Chain A
Amino acid sequence: MMTDDIKHYPAEIIEKQTAAFLTAFGMPDDYVAITASIMTDADMRGIDTHGIACIPNYHERQTNNWVTLDGPITVVRDNPATALLDAGGCLGYPAAHRAMQMAIEKAKKVGLGSVAVRNSAHYGAAGYYSRMAAREGLVGFATTGTSAPRVVPALAAEGALGTNPIAFTAPTKRNKPFNLDMATSTVASGKIRNKAVEGQELPLGWALDRDGQAVTDSAEYRNGLNMTSLGGTRELGNHKGYGLGAMVEIMSCCFTGASFVMSPNHGKRTPGTMELGHFFIAINPVFFREAGQFEETTDQLIDDLHATTPIDPSQPVLVAGEPEDMIEEERAKTGIPMPPGLRAALAKLAGECGAKFYLS
């Protein structure tokens, strides 16, 4: 792919395009506004796998009746510090947004809030929701279940968990919020695909074949590769990544009754819903210390970590979230890059579903 072919668009245009698709798919306006805004935020922060690139995938899910884009969000249970929401089979964005808002309100009143969501689907980048809490001066935490069991437990030969992400955000004053948003696999499957496209060798510890054997030949991607749990190999602690992946599955599914990624026919067992689960926590630091002290300590920690002697002076030590903050700053000027393959796919899809096309 030639870089010359990559066009750049301002965030407003990408958001408008995303919204046009979602509307054409039958999503109601209030859900569209929230969903398009969260998806475009991912594109702005360089999380290109979780923005407008998801549109063809969402179209497929809608066409196959795996999601209900106008599904009602219902509050199933509501207590002073906890709640359970039902996403009505919709894509996860509107319910997840509502859930974190409720967790924030509860944490402001009683110090803590945790809200679980069931009957949901893909909700984009987990870190969006934990960052919502940090904007309100709270610590935020988010997890989600996933749709494909491609991550292999320690000692196993086959996939049993998804990429099961964890997001954690802490408020600061001087620095940007600390924002960890990580899959509990060694790498995202997109990174393996990219190596395959470029014909490059895979680092040992990224991928496994269907017998659980380590693979470094990226051409094997065609035959279907699984991903390792963070740690990569038993010797380098993949039982820890596996443990974290199982923790995320428990938080996302056991509090909600959502379908496990290993459940037979997962994602397709009930028409109109993928039955994914999410979990959100907000914690209010002023219930522990005076206002501002939590942020002061966290800023000090970030300053201390920045002051670590770098191995390569041109690559200073960063903290979680800063790579995305830098991309966001850059893209505010350059716009969001749109590779030609994706643009062509979106143009074709716009024609098929009657959405207006803004990326010409």
Chain B
Amino acid sequence: MSHRLDENDVLWAPQAVVQEQIASILTAWGMKPEHVAATAEVMADADACGIDTHGISMLPPYDDRRRRNVITLDTDINVVTETPTTALIDAGGGLGYVPSLLATKMCIDKAKVMGMAAVAVRESAHFGATGFYTRLMAAAGLVGIATTNGSGPRTAPTFGKDGKLSTNPIAFAAPTKRHEAFSLDMATTTVAAGKIRNKWNEGQRLPLGWASDADGNPSDDPEVYISRGGTQTPLGGTRDLGSHKGYGLATMVEILSASFSGASLDTSPNHGSNKPGSMEIGHFFLAIDPTQFREEGDFEASTDELIDMLHATKPLDPEHPVMVAGEPENIVRAERKSTGIPIPPGLRSQIQEIARQSNAAFVLV
């Protein structure tokens, strides 16, 4: 497979090349070499499985945050407190990937000994796709949960007009044997902000329930969200369809991510830019070892059986069989192994410009 530019000017690049590009820019920004390798790997993995909002397309916002001095790329990571089942990590204001990988490893090691472990991270920033970390736990035979708070409080509570919480994602993964791991990774909003932006780019209306105007009324006009102070809805969309549940889940994620770690709350004034060199974001990770409850392999056999049953559910449309969480990403991953990762022309020129400005090699050619 080689890079190829298609008729829409989209470059299809192998995952290794995307990873190399990310690494060269992070290195040019002054991130420590051992942090660069891990960060680039997690980011390129998001691109490889179709989570295009959390891979190389994050470099422009990271560049902006670096210039505004709200992240510290050459930071050290410290374990603040540690017990046999728990730990608190201080990420030193850096991007969240490396401290989150450390938190995940600590969860795995501790859960293998104690049966269960939880690690909180403070003084952090964006950590990519939440599901990456829980999939690592599942690969180690454990059930994993991960959460993070965010930096863009654009989600309005039920009954409220103002954006107060971010997309506050939760991820959950469970190990299997015959199937790929069950891997849920979801924002607690109805849709990701990027989906509203895409509709706006294309001049399309929004399905009612995605966004509200500044007065809190449901709106199908993407412009109200983009430029007129509108908000995103919590999962459920409207009060009638249970938006109080999505709002409750988003608040749960905020509590797990900020109350255990002491991170800045999404609701704090100037959240994300209160402290030079740190966005003060928090994460939370938890792992449970199934062999504490049942014989080795029994948990996986049950999970496989559940997935079989869900697959066997009668579909609405025979062309679209019922799937379980994680499978759409697995399908994209298999596809992109042969096609490469699509880099659209707008993103490609942004990356080229960032590479030029920071004297990093540009390899997406």
Contact = CB atoms under 8 A, between A and B. Distances in A.
Interface of A: 77, 79-82, 84, 110-114, 116, 139, 153-158, 160, 168, 170, 178, 180, 182, 186-187, 203, 205-206, 212, 230-232, 235-237, 239-244, 246-247, 249-251, 253-257, 260, 262-263, 281, 283, 285, 287-289, 293-294, 297-298, 300-301, 304-305, 308-312, 315-320
A120 to B, nearest CB: 14
Contacts of A203: 240-241
A253 B306 contact: yes
B115 A82 contact: yes
Closest 3 CB pairs of A and B: A304-B267, A311-B216, A308-B160
20 contacts: A81-B116, A158-B314, A170-B252, A178-B251, A203-B240, A205-B241, A230-B242, A235-B207, A244-B249, A246-B325, A247-B182, A283-B260, A283-B286, A288-B88, A288-B120, A298-B259, A304-B164, A305-B157, A311-B161, A317-B160
A355 to B, nearest CB: 37
Given A206-B241, A294-B260, A305-B267, 14 more contacts: A84-B292, A114-B116, A139-B256, A155-B317, A170-B252, A203-B241, A231-B241, A232-B241, A236-B190, A236-B209, A240-B235, A288-B88, A289-B261, A311-B160
Given A231-B237, A243-B325, A308-B164, A82 B186 contact: no
Contacts of B190: 231, 236-237
Interface string B33-69: 0000000000000000000000000000000000000
B330 to A, nearest CB: 14
Contacts of B191: 237
B324 A246 contact: yes
B85 A110 contact: yes
Nearest to B212: A311
A289 B255 CA distance: 14
Given A157-B316, A305-B157, A81 B186 contact: no
B259 A110 contact: no
A310 B289 CA distance: 44
Contacts of B310: 153, 160, 246, 262
B86 interface: yes
A158 B159 contact: no
B204 interface: no
Contacts of B320: 155
B84 interface: yes
Contacts of B174: 247, 250, 254
Contact of A180 (B161, B209, B251): B251
B309 A262 contact: yes
Interface stretch (B7-15, B94-102, B293-301, B353-361): B293-301
A317 B158 contact: yes
Nearest to A161: B310
Contact of B162 (A153, A230, A244, A309): A309
Contacts of B289: 82
B78 interface: no
A112 to B, nearest CB: 5
Contacts of B259: 170, 285, 294, 297-298, 301
Interface of B: 81, 83-86, 88, 114-118, 120, 143, 156-162, 164, 172, 174, 182, 184, 186, 190-191, 207, 209-210, 215-217, 235-237, 240-242, 244-249, 251-252, 254-256, 258-262, 265, 267-268, 286, 288-290, 292-294, 298-299, 302-303, 305-306, 309-310, 313-317, 320-325
Contacts of B309: 160, 260, 262-263
Nearest to A239: B325
Contacts of B245: 182, 230
A188 B251 CA distance: 21
Contacts of A235: 207, 209
A293 B262 contact: yes
Contact of B248 (A80, A182, A186): A182
A347 to B, nearest CB: 35
B236 A231 contact: yes
A291 to B, nearest CB: 13
A80 B159 contact: no
Contacts of B160: 305, 308-311, 317
A139 B86 CA distance: 14
Given A288-B81, A301-B255, A153 B322 contact: yes
Nearest to B236: A230
Contacts of A110: 83-85, 114
A75 B347 CA distance: 57
Contacts of A298: 255, 259
A287 B244 CA distance: 31
A250 B182 contact: yes
B85 A79 contact: no
Given A182-B245, A288-B120, A311-B160, A77 B293 contact: yes
Contacts of B184: 243-244, 246-247
Nearest to A183: B245
B235 to A, nearest CB: 6
A253 B83 CA distance: 30
A154 B258 CA distance: 32
A88 B194 CA distance: 50
Contacts of B217: 311
Given A289-B260, A305-B251, A230 B114 contact: no
Contacts of A114: 115-116, 288
Given A155-B323, A249-B306, A262-B309, A317 B235 contact: no
A244 B184 CA distance: 8
Contacts of B209: 235-236
A301 B248 contact: no
A77 B292 CA distance: 8
Contacts of A81: 85, 114-116, 292
Given A160-B309, A180-B249, A297-B262, A82 B292 contact: yes
B235 A231 contact: yes
A185 to B, nearest CB: 8
B302 A257 contact: yes
Given A205-B241, A232-B237, A305-B267, A316 B248 contact: no
B298 to A, nearest CB: 6
Contacts of A309: 160-162
A310 B116 CA distance: 41
A124 B247 CA distance: 23
Contacts of B237: 231-232, 236-237
A280 B292 CA distance: 14
